[in-house]
Amino acid sequence: MNTCWRKSESGMLNGGSSETKQLETDILIAGAGLAALRAAVEAQRAGQRVTMITKGIAGRAGSSAITSAGFTAAIREADPTDSPELHYADTIRGGGDVNDRTLARIFCHEAPDRFWEMVEWGVEFDRDPDTGKYVQFKSGDHSKARVAVCATHKGTGMTLPLKQVATSVEYLDRVMALDLMFDGDGVSGIVGLDTQDLELVVIRARAVILGTGGIGQLFPVTSNPNDVTGDGLALAYRAGAILRDLEFVQFYPWRLISHVRSRMPVQPSSFAAGAILRNATGDRFMLGVDPERKEATTRDFAARGIYTEIVEGRGIEGGVALDLSEIPVETFNRLNPRVAKFFEQKGLDLTREQLILAPEGHYHMGGLRVDEHARSSLPHLYAVGEVAAGIHGGNRLDSNEIPSGQVFGRRGGIAASASAADRPAPRIDTDRVRYWQARLADMQRDAATPLDVKEIKNAVRDAMWRSVGIIRHGRTIEQGVDEADELAARLAAGRPADAGDLPEYFEAENMALVASLVTRAANLRTESRSAHYREDYPVRNDDEWLANIDVCQNRATDTPQLEKRPVKVEEPLNR
């Protein structure tokens, strides 16, 4: 869609010193993926003017576009013995009992409706060739076979159909959100950066929805694309929003690292079907990690098991071996069509090649604290998808993210639209705009120290891996806090050496800030639970830590403030 920008006089606002584009809308969504698109669809249905800003291209950027596209739901047509309450019980147990009970129950009860909605919109899921019924695969962390998979096994098989539904949305690609604006009623829009011409973009909005994804690029090896740098968490924190569960980071255990150059995951359903993991001595080590579920365990157990073999010298070329002797090759190929196609194209026999797997940074359970309508702690600010916390607790189950993003994307779109309909026209936050105009002008001067932004990004990644990787210790976590703060200070005193690196510079700022917050939360939680495992506190402690950690900015001291809040064990279902 063509955008008619309105520029302020001389390209500036009230004496600023940088070119500034202006736009006004009702609902402003920052994000590119499935949750953001679902919110856009609902706001469009409500008759709102909807604008979506995306660092890349909506529907093709972010983690949603490259996911393997699994969708969990208790679909009675597929399995009459399954139910939303069974799905809910699995989700709470898998999340280490620190999930928000209200959010988790809503998600599990509404997921089936969101599945059929996606079918109606043209998303194709795998079907049984004989019966024509939708297939739901078994995964070790679900008690029932409830993982439906997009027929293309690619996220774009979902994102692009949803984008086709959101026909009246104004898409502003290549725009990075930098800051939230406020007026007397609350959040009133976003100050962004056009990453192509490096000009400021000021968008007023009656409500803002964040769907900016997770923090995968804070780790050196990740499933997440380059644009997933924790931006939403950083700008929400600076604006005063409350964040939750930041210490819980999921590592996907089963990335294929042999034969391939690009990311290629082996699906968790493979292990429920019989695939085995072995170390360098041929031992089936997962028998000692989870004797009951073995390889078909949750991702936190599997990642720790594999990582332990590697660091204790029993690994194979940086990973562990995938043994397919107990699973029919046709079954493996059915569950992993991308892997099967790759090996077929290379003329390689899967059953004869040594396949090596290793963990990677994957998903962040932490995010903005939200209620059942995706409302954050700030008026007129909403969060959906991976940038929102609470649903998954300490560990997300296989394929629970896409349906939860659809459930709360819809709810967030409805709530934001109702709020926007009753709100007067938002006002520009001239203080924030002037601040960013001045910052961009300062970047063009030589007073600040020129920085190698890519080097700082890599330093953040190294610090995060050492301090809050798969296995943690208080000593290294504290070092991570110090390193993150030092990197943030370097960025604050410098500027990008090359003007074209300005977007990456702001990403690096966000990465360093979020690294500081994640490490602080990990340091506070003195126990092991779900994806948070500490060698110095290896036992789960429900007496002290059946709780969430909330993080917000202390405005008086400009430092993070952390607070432990007991989990509310039972919450009513609000539908």
Q: Are strands 381-383 and 199-211 parallel, antiparallel or unpaired?
A: parallel
Q: Does the annotation count 299 as an active-site position? A: yes
Cβ of 55: how many Cβ atoms within 10 Å? 27
Sheet holding 355-364, edge to edge: 249-256, 355-364, 320-323, 276-278
Amino acid at 550: D
Task: List Cβ neighbours of 463 (8 Å cut-off, separation of 6 or more).
Answer: 479, 480, 483, 484, 487, 515
* C-alpha closest to that of 426 among 48, 26, 3: 26
SS3 30: strand
Cβ burial of 394 (10 Å; 0-12, 13-18, 19+) is: buried
CB 225 within 8 A of CB 66: yes
CB 384 within 8 A of CB 210: yes
* C-alpha closest to that of 72 among 137, 123, 120: 137
The DSSP symbol for 266 reads: P
- 208, β-bridge pairs: 28, 381
Tokens 């997770």 identify what position?
Answer: 214
Measuring CA to CA, how many Å separate 502 from each of 179, 197, 228, 350, 377?
15, 11, 16, 45, 30
- Rg, the chain, Cα only: 23
The DSSP symbol for 518 reads: H
- 321, β-bridge pairs: 278, 356
CB 400 within 8 A of CB 74: no
Catalytic residue among 101, 299, 396, 461: 299
Strands (E), 212-304: 243-244, 249-256, 276-278
Q: DSSP secondary structure string, 470-517?
A: SSB-HHHHHHHHHHHHHHHHHHHTEEESSGGGHHHHHHHHHHHHHHHH
Q: Between helices 430-443 and 502-524, what is the axis angle to 10°?
A: 110
The DSSP symbol for 65 reads: G
Which of the residues are catalytic? 299
